[in-house]
Chain A
Amino acid sequence: IMPLLEKCGNTGSRTPQTIVIPRAREVGQSYATSVWTTLVALAHSAYVVLMFSPEVILCNGPGTCIPICFWALMARWLGIRNTKIVFVESFARVSSLSLSGILLYPFADLFAVQWKPLTKRYKRAVFGGVLS
């Protein structure tokens, strides 16, 4: 990533960081236990969003992004920070959106899909090319 950033004119004053956050729900996890794990994920995500106060959130399919985007929207509505939300739908979605996609569709500033037919069905979606 560093060479790419330098090429784009980044002076390198901030190095990319990787932060691990817990998932709100594992595939197949019972909905009962999901309530607790979602709350844990929400708490972690609140911390991350507050700490970094991002200008842009770039996310794709998995539901891990939902708690992060939730807090970014809260921050936006409270007038704290106008964070832009960019969502890229999974390449596996040809004619319908994933659950994360459906949840974020009304709120995303840029909603990209990888199959053209989806842009006909979802007017706010744009075809960003094949990104997989």
Chain B
Amino acid sequence: SRARLVLARTICKHQMRPGAAQLHVFATVGTTKFDSLCGTLDSETVQQAMKDKGVVRLVVQKGASEVTPRSRVSGLEVMSFEYAPSLEGYFKEADIVVSHAGAGSVLESLRAGRPTIVVVNDKLMNNHQEEVASALQADGFVTCCKPHTLAQTVLDIAITAPPEFPRRAPGDFAMLLDKLMGFDP
């Protein structure tokens, strides 16, 4: 609600000394078209919330989305692009990642050790994306929200690395495959 937003902003302002935080946010939608997320990132509400949090730079990888976020608030630099050959650098450089609920993007963010906000697209039909997002949130790896609650989530999120996500461990699967094909150890 609006009152909660105003309260959270006030708390942020008092907690932060001027110039204390110089945060970078990286937002990614992978290969999807996620206009409601790009639209909310392009809004003064969310950008002001980011600024109050101490964010100075927002980079948006917008994929196939039509909306191109630009800076709506002074003091917050906003850069948007469609795709890049590798997003690794962008993840590593960010203090907070805002990601669509695609398993690939979320995993990349977690493996880069970034606090991750997963934004679920409530306009998608048959939304099985929510399953992964909820499961990861339940295990404490990410924080989920919807596009219209992004501002509040940005203000609330803690800038601490999430728990380490299990690495790819193909050993078990390889053993099962060997056994199936008759290669017993």
Interface residues of A (CB under 8 A from B): 55-56, 58, 84, 86, 88, 90-96, 109-110, 112, 115, 126-132
B residues sitting closer than 8 Å to A (CB atoms) are 102-104, 107, 128-129, 131-132, 134-135, 166-173, 176-177, 180-181
Task: Decide if the interface of chain B is mainly helix, strand, loop or mixed.
Answer: helix
Question: Is B166's CB under 8 angstroms from A56's CB?
Answer: no
Name the distance in Å between B32's Cβ and chain A's nearest Cβ: 10
Residue of B nearest to A84 (CB): B180
A-B contact pairs, 9 of them (CB 8 A): A91-B103, A92-B129, A92-B131, A94-B132, A94-B135, A109-B180, A110-B177, A127-B172, A132-B107
- Closest residue of chain A to B129 (Cβ to Cβ) is A92
Cα–Cα, bound, A90→B177 (Å)? 17
Q: Which of A90, A94, A112, A130 contacts B166 (CB 8 A)?
A: A130
The reply to whether A129 and B171 contact each other, CB–CB distance below 8 Å, is: yes
Cβ B128 vs Cβ A92 within 8 A: yes
Please judge, given known A-B contacts A84-B181, A112-B176, whether A132 and B131 are in contact too, CB under 8 Å.
no
Q: Which residues of A contact B129 (CB under 8 A)?
A: 92
Which of B135, B171, B180 is A86 in contact with, Cβ under 8 Å?
B180
| Chain A residues within an 8 Å CB radius of B104 | 132
A115-B135 in contact (CB<8A) = yes
Partner of B172, one of A92, A115, A129: A129
CB distance from A85 to the nearest CB of B (A): 10
In angstroms, Cα B107 to Cα A81, docked, is: 38
What is the CA–CA distance of A128 and B172 in the complex, to the nearest angstrom?
6
Q: How near does chain A come to B53, taking the closest CB pair, in angstroms?
A: 30
| A96-B131, A129-B169 as given contacts; A90 in contact with B180, CB under 8 Å | no
Using Cβ atoms and an 8 Å threshold, which residues of chain B touch A131? Answer: 168, 170, 173
Within the complex, which residue of B131, B173, B176 is in contact with A93, where a contact is CB–CB below 8 Å?
B131
Contact B177 A132 (CB under 8 A): no
Q: Do A112 and B173 touch (CB < 8 A)? A: yes
Provide the residues of chain A in CB contact with B173, threshold 8 Å.
88, 112, 128-129, 131
A110 and B180 within 8 A (CB): yes
Distance between Cα atoms of A31 and B131 in the complex (Å):
27
**In the docked arrangement, what's the CA distance between A132 and B173, Å?**
12
Q: In the complex, which residues of chain A have a beta carbon less than 8 angstroms from the beta carbon of B135? A: 94, 115
Find out whether the CB atom of B131 lies under 8 angstroms from the CB atom of A94: yes
Contact assessment for A92 and B132 in the assembled complex, using a CB-CB cutoff below 8 Å: yes
Do A126 and B176 touch (CB < 8 A)? Answer: yes
Residues of chain A within 8 A of B176, CB atoms compared: 110, 112, 126, 128
> Is B131 in contact with A95, judged by CB distance below 8 angstroms?
yes
B91 → A minimal CB distance (Å): 16
Question: In the complex, what's the smallest C-beta–C-beta distance from B123 to chain A, in angstroms?
Answer: 14
CB-nearest residue of chain B relative to A115?
Answer: B135
Counting chain B CB atoms within 10 Å of each CB, which of A88, A95, A96 scores highest?
A: A95
